[in-house]
Amino acid sequence: MSTAASVATGTPRPRGWLGKLRFLLGTLAGVALFAMMTLTFFDVIGRKLLNHSIVGSVELTELMMLALIFAAMPVVSLAGGHVIFDLLDSVLPERVKHWQGVVSNLICTVLLAASGWFVLNRAMRTQEMGDITAQLAIPMAPFHYAAAILLMLCAVMHLYLAWSGKFKA
């Protein structure tokens, strides 16, 4: 997040290991988005001009979408970029808004950790069964494991926000 974005969102720019993690995940999400855009561009050109689509383009797009979404979730959580309902914020005292932020981040922690656990179990079943994509035969388990890890990381980000109080109150 740039300094201007930090000022605009009201959240401080993370430094140290948190800043490096945010940069790494943001870069991964950006690369996945650019790769999806490039693949889609060449796939459309191939279909329209050469009457031939890129084999496996739908599978690759799905896998890149998975990488984009799950890599971006911890970054968005840390930046406080999720949609929030703030209709009552103007009438609530600061102390209530603070505890509302703590409780909401703790709820997000529990929900994301549970989701990560379910996806981790799915990843183990996928690995046992040897699931692969239909056209390109790409193993699915590594992607499921990555999604589970990133969900758990997102849960840790919300726990950090609840513990540190570094969220928009």
Residue 100 belongs to some domain of the structure: yes
**Nearest alpha carbon to residue 28 among 149, 161, 160:** 149
Residue 22 belongs to some domain of the structure: yes
C-alpha 53, offset from chain centre: 29
In DSSP terms, 132 is beta-bridged to 139
Residue 1 belongs to some domain of the structure: no
| The total number of structural domains that make up the chain | 1
Residue 115 belongs to some domain of the structure: yes
The boundaries of the domain holding residue 67 are: 12-164
- The answer to whether the beta carbons of residues 128 and 144 sit under 8 Å apart is no
Residue 141 belongs to some domain of the structure: yes
Looking at the chain, the whole-number percentage of residues with pLDDT higher than 90 is: 69
Residue 169 belongs to some domain of the structure: no
Residue 35 belongs to some domain of the structure: yes
The total of other beta-carbon atoms located within 10 Å of residue 83's CB is 5
Backbone angles phi, psi at 84, to 5 degrees: -125, 155
Residue 24 belongs to some domain of the structure: yes
pLDDT at 100 over 90: no
Task: Summarize pLDDT for 112-144 with one digit per residue, the tens.
Answer: 999 999 999 999 999 999 999 999 999 999 999
